[in-house]
Amino acid sequence: MPKSQTPATVLQSLMDEYQLNPFSLSKAIHLSHSAVRLLVIGESKVTVPTALRLAKIFDQTPAFWLGLQRDADLNEALKDKELQDVLESIPKAKKPAAPKSGTAEKPVKKQTPVLSKKTTITTSARSAKNKGPKKVVKKK
């Protein structure tokens, strides 16, 4: 069975193809030399910001790098014996049986909150970032 591609193996292959070393790559993508070195040897995971940087320099999508990392994480988890024991003990969820015909359930009515006479609701302007009015409840 061929070894699955990890972010580290793909990164090393691309660095060889483009004749880059960890130092030159780190300068190009504005990431520390040690962070790139740890990625290359597989001791560090590809994060979203790193995936964006690698995608940009190698003309790929961030999803490519994050997919490689996800697959590597799943492969690692599948090798974990303790996790496998836990997974074996988890039952599958079962959907409830459909109600028998002719016994339709009544829909549940949503109750609206009741305010006391001493409570007033005011509307204030919100920032454009939050969009829309904000309800503020004040007690008198």
pLDDT in tens, 105-119: 666 666 666 655 554
Residue 123 lies in a domain: no
Q: Which residue has the higher pLDDT, 125 or 53?
A: 53
pTM of this prediction?
0.63
Lowest pLDDT segment from 32-36, 51-55, 133-137: 133-137
129 part of a folded domain? no
For the chain, the domain total comes to: 1
Contact 40, 11 (CB under 8 A): yes
Q: Does residue 117 lie within any of the structural domains?
A: no
Is the residue at 78 inside a domain?
yes
Question: Given this model, what pLDDT does residue 71 score?
Answer: 96
- Domain for residue 133, yes or no? no
36-50 in b/e form (b: 16+ CB < 10 A) is: bbebbeeebebeeeb
User: Is residue 128 assigned to a domain?
Assistant: no
Looking up residue 24, the CATH number of its domain turns out to be 1.10.260.40
Tokens linked to 135: 């309800």
User: Do residues 107 and 99 make contact, with C-beta atoms less than 8 angstroms apart?
Assistant: no
Domain for residue 66, yes or no?
Answer: yes
Range of the domain at 27: 7-89
Q: Within a domain: residue 136?
A: no
